[in-house]
Structure 1
Amino acid sequence: MIRNRLAHEARLMFLASIKTGEYKTMWWYKAYLQNHLWVDMCGLATAGFALYGEVPDAEIWINQAHSKFLKILEALGTDGASHEGVGYWSYGVEYLLKYLDLAKQLLGCDLFNNTWFRKTIYYRLYMSLPRGMWKDSMTIVNIADCPMRDWYGPDYILRKLATEYKDGYAQWLAEELDKAGVVSPVSGWLNILWYDPTVKPTPPYDLPTMKHFDDLDIVVMRDSWINENILFVFKCGPFIGHSALKKFNYDPGGGHVHPDVNHFILVAYGKWLIVDDGYLSKWTRQHNTIVFNIDGREVGQLGEGSMWFKGDEVIKRKRISAIIRVESNPIFDYVIGDAYNIYPDIVGLKKFLRHVIYLKPDIFIIIDEIETTRPQVPEWLLHYDGTLRNIGQNTFILTNGDVNLKIDVVLPHEFRYEIYEQIGVRERGQEKRLPTLKIVPLQKSNKTIIIVVLHPAKSGNEHPSIMEIHENGKLGLLIKYKGEEKKILFNFARKKRNDRIFELVGMDEPINTYSFTRELPPLDP
């Protein structure tokens, strides 16, 4: 009875995975970057292996699944990151690993020699929340359609990665998650099969505090791996990554991506401060980026407007976004995100560069350069957790428990602001309220500069004084903090989009531990 049912379901799964007029092909049959295909083909292969030699079609099922997995592995990016978010990463990677393990044992085919798999442990590691924040419902950064915890494992997933790649960081993270009691009980038995005690756990304390995933273009910044007081995550890449965007002329599985180009989150001292919207319908306005008000109508990024991201809209128009510069050194981390042409043509966007300057250990300067072919009104959005109040003409204080975030709006000088609740909608129609700060310049312009300084601190601790200055024909900031002064000048007349926008006056040029630049072709006039 079990054999007959398994064979019946496998036949249906096989027919659903091929293009045939005899049976309804499922939408995921060529969604090589979507978890549905990964899970279903693992099931088809497993049925084929179980019934091999007993059911004539079993070999066909194995061959079909294997061919799909070869295309899946080819489609994966080069940086180990997941466009679907960490939650779906744990779900999808479990089934990828199950198939790779079966193929190695039963087919003698070792598919583990794959760049994405070798690097994916670092995606899960860097996207971990600070260790002191872990609890059953909260362990990870929730960018894309993602909760704040892993749906599956991830202890046994990490142990398999540790076993295959002799990676002590993976082994360490698995052990720490187990000790904290924050793993999912699903498939926990795989810990027995996939654990290699010869791989010794290695704490990440020797790893850089900044990580750039250069295919999806996500940058993660920390103040430390030991104290872990501050975590900042910035995102500005193609919705499925640079590699996949070059390979596919259709959307191969980007439905769980968000319209969140130039979006960021901030966690400090154990509290969420600047937040993502979570698993909701896809709207730019729910993210910490820019929308435009055109004749009273809100216009966000391409792909928005439904429960699932409309990736074909982006691919058919050949649109892209990218991180075009990253620097990291002991003094600062620096990122430039280029929204490029990811907004609809009605915006007339010529430039939306977002610069993030992380002056270590705890000051963030966000600079937006916005140019359009005709005067527009950009709306600068920030979503937060806590209570927000205005304490002066251009200063806000966000309070979440015993942590404050000071928000200084340096530019524009004249703006209106709104503090309100944005309403997001979940898949089954439930509403989620998103506390929101909106900054809107009072004047339309085809060139707008927005500068905002963020500083998190424990309640009662000092915040820096931020003063606008003009020196040698340049706009700058004078930052007074803890008895010291730092002067930073900006160069808005740079020759190239990916040139550094600032200089730290009176300081020797620090030596970068990481440096990256990317050139994009000129935008169409």
Structure 2
Amino acid sequence: MPDNETFTGKLTKLKRPHPRLLLLKGDEQFLVQKIQSDKSLKNIHDAILAEGNRLINQPPVERIQIGRRLLDKSREALRRIFQLSYAYRTTGEKKYLQRAEKEMLAVANFSNWNPSHFLDVAEMTMAVAIGYDWLYDDLSEGSRQKIREAILKKGIEPSYKKEYNWFLTAEHNWNQVCNAGMTFGALAIAEHEPELAERTIERALESIPKSMEPYGPDGAYPEGFGYWEYGTSFNVLFLSALERALGTDFGLAQTPGFLKTAGFEQNIVGPLGIVHNWGDSGDRNGVSPALFWFANKNNDPSLLYMQKKVIQEQPGRDLVKDRTLPALLLWGAGMNLSDIPPPKENFWMGQGPSPVAMMRSSWTDPNAFFVGFKAGSASVNHAHMDAGSFVLDALGERWAMDFGPQNYNSLEERGIKLFGREQDAERWDIFRYNNLVHNTLTIDGQYQRVKGYAKIDAFSSDPRDMAIVSDLSTIYDGQASAVKRGIALRDSRQVIVRDEVKAPDKDITLRWTLLTPAQVLIQDGSTVVLSQKGKTMYLTFNASTPLKIKTWSTEPTHDYDAPNPGTTMVGFEATLRAGSPHSFDATFSADKNTNTSSAGPISGWKVKSTK
């Protein structure tokens, strides 16, 4: 974080006229010219104009709160105002100006922007700040005053109340989103509220590094894919706004691990466009404007390889659902999406609060093998009890899956305390959230230890024999003497999951589970046949310890749990005698004749220690 001397005077030197946020005055013609040179970017531009036309006759957003959140209304306001303002600035057509003004005045008249759930305020403030700044010259003085007053009274001022501003010390997405929203508001009205604007931006510069530090050392984002899109997107909007308005991001982009995090987001998407969706994350990849910012900063167009597919395959009516879509054009103008090369590396690994590794046999083959592995801890924000879990894609299908989260309001309206992190928190009784339904181990039916933490202890990035090893012992503290898992992708056609477990001073029952959308046939005492859409995957177990292959229902255990149709859990149970070591190999292969002999002790694998 820069010292105060670095910041002093920056805001007082703010001479830029409106607009000053992201797209400066006079930049419109250059932007449109650059967009015209790429068919994919022009299609996005045209889709935004078409959406603006559709919105002309739509009524403005209404203040309808769902549970404790107004967030969906704030997000819709941001989507509408950002896109309508973009449409006006790039075409000069008054209909877009008038419709955006109508939207801003409507939300400015809300009684409040729901400060008790401050994300709602942050996104609404950003929405109105962009519209106010981008349309400033053509808004009536009366409209300017009403919108400016809303930014001040319903946006920034509540952020100085202690009951609302706990986000200032958070290490997760709340910090990023809320500081970004307040900074946009402060920059928009800086000439009218210079002292408050300076104080708000200084506060953000002191606060936001707390949420950027967890990206270190390698860029693995602790909250997973979905919250990467949320927190990181607002973080780069924050940095970009500072750069354009004040001429500097104060060195924040150089925070260790931050620029590397684009590799995390790129590699977490499998060959099917399905994400390794651990924690509270959905599994569908979508358009990501933030990745265009990273591609520019890193001078690495290959970061957009999966984005190219999304943009070329999704219709415009789906792309415009992204509320920050205009930012993609601001950061992507001048790029040639038709000439994006695939990444060079098939292996990616990151440590940090939620260590992960992703390995694949190919970037260009839709039938490629892809394995995503998750270590970490259930104590991280939005985490599940999923240390040791993995997903597997091959043959154009997902074979090992993750449920992801349940809709928050569906649980909160039933009185469930969803976000507790204690060992006995209600969160872990939600069907989708504990280790019994993840692709990992369970001992004596117990939950994983919340205070436990596992990193990636060794790895191999050899394309012929990629592998990771993780010591999970603290995750099962008091349940087993030692637990280690290794996962290998060998010869681009076989995945081996090896577990080495030492029982404590009593007998224990080990449960190994695989969550799959495939049909399951237990063929014999060691082989499971998985099939879907005419394709077959063989899962073969090899162990010296007797085991019993079983299936488990995914029907919810509580009436508040979400249904899980079309899924099955399969695996085995084994009794481990007191004090004795045991090893289990599980091999995934599309070839039923594949050699499934023991993978050998993990200590003998050709991997490099991460120590």
Q: Same fold (TM over 0.5)?
A: yes
SS state of the match for residue 118, structure 1?
coil
CA distance in 2 between counterparts of 1:102 and 1:426 reads: 46
CA distance in 1 between counterparts of 2:191 and 2:485 reads: 59
CA distance in 2 between counterparts of 1:176 and 1:501 reads: 36
C-alpha contact 2:510 2:576 (8 A) present in aligned 1: no
Give the structure 2 partner of residue 122 of structure 1: 263
Q: Which residue among 172, 177, 184 is the counterpart of 1:39?
A: 177
1:259 is matched by which residue type in structure 2?
M
Q: 1:464 aligned to 2:603?
A: no
Q: CA shift at 1:209, angstroms? A: 1.4
Question: 1:118-267 alignment to 2 at 5 Å?
Answer: 118-130=259-271, 133-134=272-273, 139-150=274-285, 153-154=287-288, 156-181=289-314, 183=319, 184-197=321-334, 203=340, 205=342, 207-215=344-352, 216-228=354-366, 229-238=368-377, 254-267=380-393
CA distance in 2 between counterparts of 1:186 and 1:10 reads: 19
SS state of the match for residue 382, structure 2?
coil
Query: Could you give the per-residue CA deviations for residues 305-324 of structure 1, whole angstroms, max 9, x where no partner exists?
Result: xxxxxxxxx2xxxx421211
Q: CA shift at 1:277, angstroms? A: 2.1
CA distance in 2 between counterparts of 1:341 and 1:442 reads: 21
Give the structure 2 partner of residue 9 of structure 1: 154
C-alpha contact 1:168 1:201 (8 A) present in aligned 2: no
C-alpha contact 1:284 1:301 (8 A) present in aligned 2: yes
164 and 466 in structure 1: CA distance in 2 versus 1, 3 angstrom threshold: closer
CA distance in 2 between counterparts of 1:429 and 1:27 reads: 30
Give the structure 1 partner of residue 137 of structure 2: none
C-alpha contact 1:81 1:123 (8 A) present in aligned 2: yes
Query: Could you give the per-residue CA deviations for residues 465-488 of structure 1, whole angstroms, max 9, x where no partner exists?
Result: 5465xxxxxxxx4xxxxxxxxxx6
100 and 465 in structure 1: CA distance in 2 versus 1, 3 angstrom threshold: closer
Q: Which residue among 424, 429, 439 is the counterpart of 1:288?
A: 439
C-alpha contact 2:213 2:256 (8 A) present in aligned 1: no
Structure showing the higher strand proportion among its residues? 1
2:148 is matched by which residue type in structure 1?
R
Gaps of 5+ in 2: 1-145, 407-429
Give the structure 1 partner of residue 120 of structure 2: none
Query: Could you give the per-residue CA deviations for residues 473-514 of structure 1, whole angstroms, max 9, x where no partner exists?
Result: xxxx4xxxxxxxxxx6x24xxxxxx73348xxxxxxxxxxxx
Q: 1:361 aligned to 2:492?
A: yes
C-alpha contact 1:417 1:438 (8 A) present in aligned 2: yes
C-alpha contact 1:363 1:453 (8 A) present in aligned 2: no
2:460 is matched by which residue type in structure 1?
E
CA distance in 2 between counterparts of 1:140 and 1:427 reads: 28
SS state of the match for residue 176, structure 1?
helix
Q: CA shift at 1:442, angstroms? A: 4.2
C-alpha contact 1:328 1:334 (8 A) present in aligned 2: yes
Give the structure 2 partner of residue 451 of structure 1: 584
**Structure of greater Rg:** 2
CA distance in 1 between counterparts of 2:167 and 2:213 reads: 17
CA distance in 1 between counterparts of 2:555 and 2:157 reads: 40
Q: Which residue among 212, 224, 233 is the counterpart of 1:73?
A: 212
C-alpha contact 2:455 2:470 (8 A) present in aligned 1: yes
Question: 1:445-524 alignment to 2 at 5 Å?
Answer: 445-457=578-590, 462-466=591-595, 468=597, 477=598, 490-491=600-601, 499-501=603-605, 516-519=608-611
Gaps of 5+ in 1: 240-250, 304-313, 469-476, 478-487, 492-497, 503-514, 520-525
Q: CA shift at 1:81, angstroms? A: 1.9
217 and 467 in structure 1: CA distance in 2 versus 1, 3 angstrom threshold: closer
Q: TM-score, normalised by structure 2?
A: 0.65
Query: Could you give the per-residue CA deviations for residues 286-334 of structure 1, whole angstroms, max 9, x where no partner exists?
Result: 21111111xxxx212123xxxxxxxxxx2xxxx4212111013243112
SS state of the match for residue 292, structure 2?
helix
Question: 1:351-500 alignment to 2 at 5 Å?
Answer: 351-374=482-505, 375-423=507-555, 429-432=561-564, 434-442=567-575, 444-457=577-590, 462-466=591-595, 468=597, 477=598, 490-491=600-601, 499-500=603-604
CA distance in 1 between counterparts of 2:341 and 2:557 reads: 38
113 and 372 in structure 1: CA distance in 2 versus 1, 3 angstrom threshold: same
Query: Could you give the per-residue CA deviations for residues 397-424 of structure 1, whole angstroms, max 9, x where no partner exists?
Result: 0111122121112115522232122345
Q: CA shift at 1:448, angstroms? A: 4.4
SS state of the match for residue 553, structure 2?
strand
441 and 174 in structure 1: CA distance in 2 versus 1, 3 angstrom threshold: closer
C-alpha contact 1:352 1:371 (8 A) present in aligned 2: yes
201 and 414 in structure 1: CA distance in 2 versus 1, 3 angstrom threshold: same
Structure showing the higher helix proportion among its residues? 2
Query: Could you give the per-residue CA deviations for residues 65-115 of structure 1, whole angstroms, max 9, x where no partner exists?
Result: 222123333343221222222121111111001100111122333332233
What is the RMSD of the two structures over their aligned residues, measured on CA atoms?
A: 2.7
Give the structure 2 partner of residue 269 of structure 1: 395
CA distance in 2 between counterparts of 1:81 and 1:425 reads: 33
C-alpha contact 1:398 1:406 (8 A) present in aligned 2: yes
CA distance in 2 between counterparts of 1:426 and 1:70 reads: 40
CA distance in 1 between counterparts of 2:306 and 2:392 reads: 22
425 and 223 in structure 1: CA distance in 2 versus 1, 3 angstrom threshold: farther
Q: CA shift at 1:369, angstroms? A: 0.9
